[in-house]
A and B are shown apart, each in its own frame.
Chain A
Amino acid sequence: MGLREKLTNNRFFKSIYREGYPDTDRKRVLVIINSLALHLHPVRIPKKALKVSYTWGLGGLSIWMFVILTITGVFLMFYYIPSVKDAWWSIININTNVYFGAFMRNMHRWAAHAMVILVLLHMTRVFYTGSYKPPREFNWVLGVVLLTVTFLLSFTGYLLPWDQLAYWAITVGAEMGGSTPLIGKQINVALLGGYQIGQSTLIRWYTLHVIFLPLTLIVLVSMHFWRVRKDGNISTPVYPAPVEATAGSPADGDGAPEPSDEAAEEASGEAEEQAES
């Protein structure tokens, strides 16, 4: 019995994954639809969607950053104190006294920067591959909202260490918000929880950072993933039909029109590329 057999062909493993190791097509289907995490995926996808140079995995990596941020963030919450008097000292404590404290804080910071960059790159990938086109219009709109929430998550976190960088970055940000025409004053007060940055600002941004915005992101990402599936999964190539075909033969049914020269050329180029890899 091989090692994989030993690990997967026993009562305990099979109590979790009823079908054992997915080594037949039937089991490859079942492993996806029976698992909560994996069933976000379709069972089968076009080979084209698999090419790393098509999506660069950027959406998946964005959510992976969010998972890492949640884990390291909960760890930081054990030690961080959201009070003007103690916040900075609690960060010093995390950096110097807490086991793995500095590591977790660093990881939280670097993953946060990575997430902003990855989400921007993911949007750019979706744009340049034309993946916002029908029927995916609304998922693009959801994406723009997700981008905004990602910025807000990062920005609300920036205040929490209560050091000079944080304090003055928030000063700059709140002044920008305060310059809104007509309702600037109100926005400023809403952002700061008063007329100047202080305890009410800190507790407000802390609450947004650890509860409200993450929950919002989870709800929106769920809708985003749901729509990816409902919109026919990841986009695959769509070529313009050649002009003759549009000239109105009423039934083009299965005798599908041939791709135009250009499209055909590109398609065959792609096939060659795949054969190479």
Chain B
Amino acid sequence: MARVMQHEEEEKVIEDPGERVHVWPHLVSIELVGALIYLLALSLMSIFIRAPLVDLANPEVTPNPAKAPWYFLGLQELLLHMHPALAGVIVPGAVLILLAAIPYIDRTRAGTGIWFSTPKGLPITKFSAVYTAVWVVGLVLLDEYLPAGEGAHGISPLLELYGFPPAVGDIFVPLVFMTFIPWSLAVIVKRRWNANTREIIIALYTFFLASFVVLTIIGTAFRGHSMQLMWPWEIGAPEGLMER
């Protein structure tokens, strides 16, 4: 065992922690100020903005639309485009596992403690965010408006119209897109910037983050009655919002 360890090449790095200062008072004072600012902001918010409360739960009356809390609206948006097992369980499960795996894929120490690690990091982040956002918005619009005959719309209905089984549109096509977009992003970043492992992981994390943000915004602010796409001002408050 020890023999194997010896063979593993040690990464040569230069560490640069710099000058040290006492935690008291330097850090403790910053923490105190930060905590007080947040407490004050939350207090003001709690004085002036009410937490929503709507009518008593009623299993007989389904509100339209019925939405999850905001941080799950990205997943609820996916639910409109693919099989529920994929959107509700497999995608979030895979995301958590892949997130946890990041440090075991990108194993070098160089680049620790530096925002975006290398000079290429920030441009790659910006490019990846735009690339992802364009894909996600484009696909959402396509699935909403692509005519599929007889007033129906969407990629899956169109495929069924051509005689494909539902699994193709609900499972196969979404899987293809969800692998093609990050894969193509990694290829582009590698070619254009000659990216190393850390820089490719930056591109892929940005893909995750941008998808989450864009889908959450669409699900929160652009989905109204019957979960149709609309402008935020057309959506209105939840039904039965209490005055007090």
A-side residues, CB < 8 A to B, are 22, 25, 28-29, 31-32, 38, 41-48, 50, 52, 54, 57, 60-61, 64-65, 68, 84, 88, 91-92, 95-96, 102-111, 113-114, 116, 123-124, 127-134, 136-137, 140-141, 144, 147-148, 151, 154-155, 158, 161-169, 171-173, 175-177, 179-181, 184, 196-197, 235-241, 245-246, 256-257, 259, 262-263, 266-267, 271
Contacts and interface: CB of A to CB of B under 8 A. Distances in A.
A131 B113 contact: yes
B49 interface: yes
A144 B100 contact: yes
A174 B45 CA distance: 31
A237 B61 contact: no
B2 to A, nearest CB: 19
B58 interface: yes
B12 A241 contact: yes
A164 B66 CA distance: 9
B113 A163 contact: no
Interface in B100-136: 100, 102-104, 106-117, 119, 121, 125
Given A68-B42, A163-B55, A28 B24 contact: yes
B59 A167 contact: yes
A147 B35 CA distance: 21
Interface residues of B, number: 89
A112 B59 CA distance: 26
Interface of B: 12-28, 30-31, 34-35, 38-39, 42-43, 45-47, 49-59, 61-63, 66-72, 75-76, 79, 83-85, 87-90, 96, 99-100, 102-104, 106-117, 119, 121, 125, 198, 202, 205, 209, 238-240, 242, 244
